[in-house]
């Protein structure tokens, strides 16, 4: 599904990604772990197509297609979803209204008519029940005055509505207490299927207790330095990132 | 009519000013220039009584002693008042003014404007007075309104048919000497609308006036006078367009609202005069005086969406004279390219327990300058007066400006005055977030702007709100990129 080969990327001439290789197949859950500043969030932004980053080498293929020439919205239409670490606020635009614009934009890209209001309401009802979201929440301005947990839950709600092929969850666990974390993880697990894939970006192992990855990659200084199964996450938790760094330097 | 994505798409494809066509109507236009003879000629042409002619002449004499104000935060070449024609009437207007008699060219023009008069009559429950250049062409729904005792007609007709009402109220809220442009308007106003709602009557439909400047080198000076008698209610809409022209056209209107005891007036404007082209050439100078007076327990609510005009200079205001009266001002002012707007309101609290609310949303893009200027004045006898003001500015790009000039004068210790102001910029992060959710940049801006303007849009009648949202999108096209 996603093939990243020797990806290099800069921001303002500063090299952040220094040759990333990663392959994700449908049905898989991958986790990328690493210390602060290792380039984890940059990787997610580059996959999603954020303009500030310049790809300087390598390639990103999504279902065989080169992503580098596509606008962020085109990548979204292809089925790439990014759950933001810091979701933005849009005052005066309700969650429902925003979702309507988003869903219809996706449909338009597929040559479909706008979703009839009735269907949209039903879908919103179903997905909000699935994720245990209070309906009142949906009429509030997008992310304005939301708690950390509400913001992240809202991201997962949008993911449920858009049903992406590849969901990238960027530090979805940061700022969440254990109850909120469980709710969010539970939501993600309900949305997993044979056909879609999840890329988790996280600093801590605790999220991986709830969303169990098939593969764990450790990223240090713009490179994936170690890959393994979920046991690797426990090892990291116990021994810290210094252990990988030392191993790398040896 | 349902507003669909396709409609939006069509709108977005139309990059030029939409209403920039010119209908070739035979017009009777006065020679350019202004003097007492011209003022007399306008009055004679309109078959006005002597008191009206004298009122105009008085205004003209005052105007001659005045100088054009310069305090607003706008820069433009001052109009040459001797180079303007002060009267232009489509020649084919039938004095009896039934719709059947209206020039087919005119009707076709309304169609182009998207205001089929027939449709308006049948579908929208909107009674409409259309002022093209200077003469009011068709007043629909006259009969239906007549049954309720509501008078809604051109001001020229009202001067003839209801002189006692016009004479009693004209100039009572905006006197001839009020300001330079109000004085000019008082001398040369050619037409406009008059509306009277009798005691205790709730007007059953939205009343609407559509203004359009068609002829080149003409000024448009309408005069609107709206009187809501005790305990009555009316909602009034005003829409404006002008064709694209290289030269600047002058629009100097006066609107006077009178809300007697317990009456309520809701006055909404969607202003879309030609803003000039991308290089800042042409466009309408919109210098308007709008003011209302509230007697006891009365309420006046101004709502405006200003997207057009090269230079806008206007402050719809409320004089809260009666105890417990309420004034409201909801405004969205959009400026793009080289547009300049200096707009806001004045809330003059005279009575006890008077309340006012000001919500102003300024959106600046391109190289435009957008200023809010507002005065909240609490007079010594206005015990327990309250005001809440909120002025929000949204900037797009790095070359535009947003300015806020709030003036607060409080002479009574029991007053409560609150002022909030914010300035924000549409952020790259907001756009990227929308993009990531599949929403294009143009659409993302529309979404953010609509969200920003929501409190004001919510105050517009439904049909107008949809129109206004479309206008906002069109006005801001291509402003981020």
Q: Within 13 Å of residue B37, how many CA atoms lie on the same side as its CB?
A: 4
Parent domain of A227: 2-249
Structure tokens, A137 = 């929440």
Lowest-confidence pick of A28-42, A140-154, B40-54, B239-253: B239-253
Closest alpha carbon within chain B to A49: B436
* Cβ–Cβ < 8 Å for A46, A53: yes
Domain count along chain A: 1
Q: What is residue A213's predicted lDDT score, i.e. its pLDDT?
A: 95
**Residues in A touching B450 (Cβ below 8 Å):** 92-93
Mean pLDDT of B75-95: 67
Which tens digits make up the pLDDT trace of B387-445?
999 999 988 878 888 889 999 999 999 999 999 998 888 888 999 999 999 999 888 98
In this model, does residue B247 exceed pLDDT 70?
A: no
Mean pLDDT of A129-134: 85
> In terms of Cα–Cα distance, which of B384, B390, B337 is closest to B359?
B390
Q: Is B122 on the interface with A (CB under 8 A)?
A: no
State whether residue B314 is helix, strand or coil: strand
**Residues in B touching A102 (Cβ below 8 Å):** 434, 437-439
Interface contact B451-A52, CB threshold 8 A = no
Whole-angstrom distance, CA of residue A172 vs CA of residue A200 = 8
| Residue extents of the structural domains in chain B | 5-475
Share of chain B above pLDDT 70, in %: 76
State whether residue B465 is helix, strand or coil: helix
Contacts of B3 (CB under 8 A, 6+ apart): B466, B470
Q: What is residue B243's predicted lDDT score, i.e. its pLDDT?
A: 52
Q: What's the pLDDT band for B2 if we cut at 50, 70, 90?
A: very low
In this model, does residue A112 exceed pLDDT 50?
A: yes
**Residue that has been written with the tokens 């309700």 in this structure:** A94
Q: How far is B435 from chain A (nearest CA, A)?
A: 5
**Residues in B touching A109 (Cβ below 8 Å):** 438
Whole-angstrom distance, CA of residue A190 vs CA of residue A131 = 9
Interface contact A51-B428, CB threshold 8 A = yes
**Residues in B touching A91 (Cβ below 8 Å):** 451-452
**How high is the ipTM of this complex?**
0.95
Q: Within 13 Å of residue B436, how many CA atoms lie on the same side as its CB?
A: 26
Interface contact A73-B455, CB threshold 8 A = no
Which residue among A52, A76, A91 sits closest to B437, beta carbon to beta carbon?
Answer: A76
Q: Is B330 on the interface with A (CB under 8 A)?
A: no
Q: What is the mean pLDDT of chain B?
A: 80
Q: How far is A224 from chain B (nearest CA, A)?
A: 25
CATH assignment at residue A195 = 3.40.50.300
Interface contact B435-A72, CB threshold 8 A = yes
Interface contact B447-A101, CB threshold 8 A = yes
**Residue that has been written with the tokens 């309109």 in this structure:** B46
């Amino acid at each position: 599904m996603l093939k990243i080969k020797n990806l290099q990327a800069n921001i303002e001439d500063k090299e952040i990604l220094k040759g990333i290789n990663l392959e994700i197949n449908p049905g898989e859950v991958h986790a990328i772990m690493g210390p602060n500043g290792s380039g984890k969030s940059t990787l997610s932004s580059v996959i999603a197509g954020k303009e500030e980053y310049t790809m300087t080498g390598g390639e990103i293929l999504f279902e065989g297609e080169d992503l580098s020439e596509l606008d962020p919205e085109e990548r979204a239409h292809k089925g790439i979803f990014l759950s933001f670490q810091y979701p933005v606020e849009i005052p005066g635009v309700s969650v429902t209204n925003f979702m309507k614009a988003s869903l219809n934009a996706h449909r338009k890209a597929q040559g479909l008519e706008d979703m009839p209001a009735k269907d949209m309401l039903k879908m919103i009802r179903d997905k909000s029940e699935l994720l245990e979201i209070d309906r009142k929440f949906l009429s509030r301005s997008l992310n304005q005055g939301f708690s950390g947990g509400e913001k992240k839950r809202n991201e997962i709600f949008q993911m449920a509505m858009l049903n992406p092929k590849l969901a990238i969850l960027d530090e979805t666990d940061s700022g969440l207490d254990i109850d909120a974390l469980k709710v969010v993880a539970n939501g993600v697990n309900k949305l997993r299927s044979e056909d879609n894939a999840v890329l988790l970006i996280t600093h801590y192992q605790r999220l991986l207790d709830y969303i169990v990855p098939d593969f764990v990659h450790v990223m240090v200084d713009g490179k994936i330095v170690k890959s393994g199964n979920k046991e690797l996450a426990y090892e990291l938790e116990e021994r810290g990132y210094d252990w990988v760094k030392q191993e790398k330097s040896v | 009519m349902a507003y669909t994505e396709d409609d939006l798409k069509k709108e977005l494809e139309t990059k030029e000013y939409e209403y920039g066509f010119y209908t070739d109507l035979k017009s009777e236009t006065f020679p350019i220039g202004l003097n007492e003879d011209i003022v007399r000629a306008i009055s004679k042409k309109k078959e006005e009584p002597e008191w009206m002619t004298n009122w105009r002449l008085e205004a003209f004499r005052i105007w001659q002693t005045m100088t054009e104000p310069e305090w607003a935060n706008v820069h433009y070449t001052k109009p040459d008042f001797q180079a303007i024609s002060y009267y232009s009437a489509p020649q084919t207007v039938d004095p009896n003014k039934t719709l059947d008699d209206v020039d087919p060219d005119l009707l076709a023009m309304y169609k182009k404007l998207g205001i089929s008069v027939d449709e308006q009559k049948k579908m929208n429950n909107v009674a409409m007075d259309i002022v093209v250049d200077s003469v009011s062409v068709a007043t629909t729904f006259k009969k239906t309104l007549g049954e309720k005792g509501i008078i809604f007609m051109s001001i020229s007709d009202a001067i003839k048919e209801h002189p006692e009402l016009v004479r009693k109220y004209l100039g009572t809220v905006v006197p001839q000497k009020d300001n330079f442009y109000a004085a000019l308007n008082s001398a040369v106003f050619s037409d406009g609308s008059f509306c009277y709602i009798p005691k205790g009557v709730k007007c059953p439909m939205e009343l609407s006036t559509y203004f359009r400047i068609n002829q080149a080198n003409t000024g448009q000076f309408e005069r609107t006078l709206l009187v809501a008698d005790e305990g009555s209610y009316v909602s009034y809409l005003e829409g404006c367009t002008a064709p694209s022209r290289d030269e600047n056209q002058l629009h100097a209107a006066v609107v006077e609202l009178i809300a007697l005891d317990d009456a309520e007036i809701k006055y909404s404007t969607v202003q879309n005069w030609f803003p000039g082209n991308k290089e800042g050439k042409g466009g309408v100078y919109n210098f308007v005086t709008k003011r209302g007076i509230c007697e006891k327990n009365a309420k006046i609510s101004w709502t405006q969406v200003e997207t057009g005009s090269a230079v806008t200079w206007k402050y719809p205001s409320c004089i809260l004279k009666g105890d417990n009266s309420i004034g409201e001002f909801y405004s969205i002012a959009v400026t793009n390219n080289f547009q300049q707007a200096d707009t806001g309101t004045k809330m003059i609290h005279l009575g006890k327990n008077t309340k006012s609310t000001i919500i102003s949303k300024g959106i600046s893009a391109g190289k435009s300058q957008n200023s809010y200027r507002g005065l909240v004045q609490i007079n010594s006898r206005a015990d327990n007066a309250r005001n809440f003001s909120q002025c929000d500015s949204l900037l797009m790009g790095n070359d535009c400006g947003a300015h806020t000039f709030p003036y607060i004068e409080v002479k009574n210790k029991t007053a409560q005055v609150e002022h909030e102001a914010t300035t924000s910029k549409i952020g790259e992060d907001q756009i990227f977030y929308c993009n990531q959710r599949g929403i294009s940049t143009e659409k993302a801006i529309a979404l953010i702007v609509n969200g920003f303007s929501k409190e004001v849009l919510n105050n517009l009648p439904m049909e107008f709100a949809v129109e206004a949202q479309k206008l906002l999108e069109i006005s801001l096209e291509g402003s981020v990129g």
